Structure 1
Amino acid sequence: MNATENIAYMGLQDYMLPCASKQILGFDCPGCGLQRSVLLLFQGEFLAAFEMYPAIYTLIPLILLIVVNKLFSLKIGGNILLIALSISSVFLILANFIFKLLH
């Protein structure tokens, strides 16, 4: 990591929100790891981002598709892809949450 990437990384880390669930209840919530996963993506650590939060690779296209759908109102195929990405995202989030609870 060069100096510029290091400075950007440190700057982003300063603005990460703490998990209230983890602080109050003592265990991870279903969203724990999402911010760190995005940060790892910015660094180019794609495998580490997936290991941190597996749903990152379904959530990014899902968010992009929702934005594009709102702007351009996709009629053919957009809804099917939206449903598929939504279901796979929910499945990955829940599977990751259960895995973290058990380990």
Structure 2
Amino acid sequence: MQLANFMISLDDYMLPCLNKKLFGFDCPGCGAQRAISFLLHGEFADAFAMYPAIYTIIPLLGFLLADSFFTIKYANKIIITLMISSVVLILGNYILKFI
């Protein structure tokens, strides 16, 4: 019960986008916090619709953490692939917001 209350209260503490407040349009990172909130609530399709790169950024962060503790074969290739796919998804989503 406390975990559910904690997850619901996270929505009350999301940071506003400074770029959107100052210039009036979204930054490339807009939607990431809400996507994480959707993931925590189990709404996976909504998380993808909000910020598609969330599904490459989370494995990238997990892999970077694992790579710091263990020796992983082909780690550089995996990291580069996850990074490139994250950048492509972030920029693609950002461009689609303006269309």
TM over 0.5: yes
Cα contact 1:27–1:101 (8 A) shared by 2: no
The runs of 5 or more residues in structure 1 that have no matched partner are none
Alpha-carbon separation, structure 2, partners of 1:3 and 1:45:
20
Q: Which is worse superposed, 65-74 or 88-97?
A: 65-74
Number of residue pairs aligned between Structure 1 and Structure 2: 99
Deviation of 1:51 (Å): 0.3
- Matched to 2:86, the amino acid is S
Percent of aligned pairs sharing the same letter? 48
Q: Which of 83, 89, 98 is equivalent to 2:86?
A: 89
Q: Which of 6, 14, 17 is equivalent to 2:15?
A: 17
Deviation of 1:9 (Å): 3.6
Deviation of 1:3 (Å): 9.1
Alpha-carbon separation, structure 1, partners of 2:30 and 2:98:
12
TM-score using structure 1 length: 0.88
Note closer, same or farther for the CA distance 1:8–1:70 as it changes in structure 2 (3 Å cut).
Answer: same
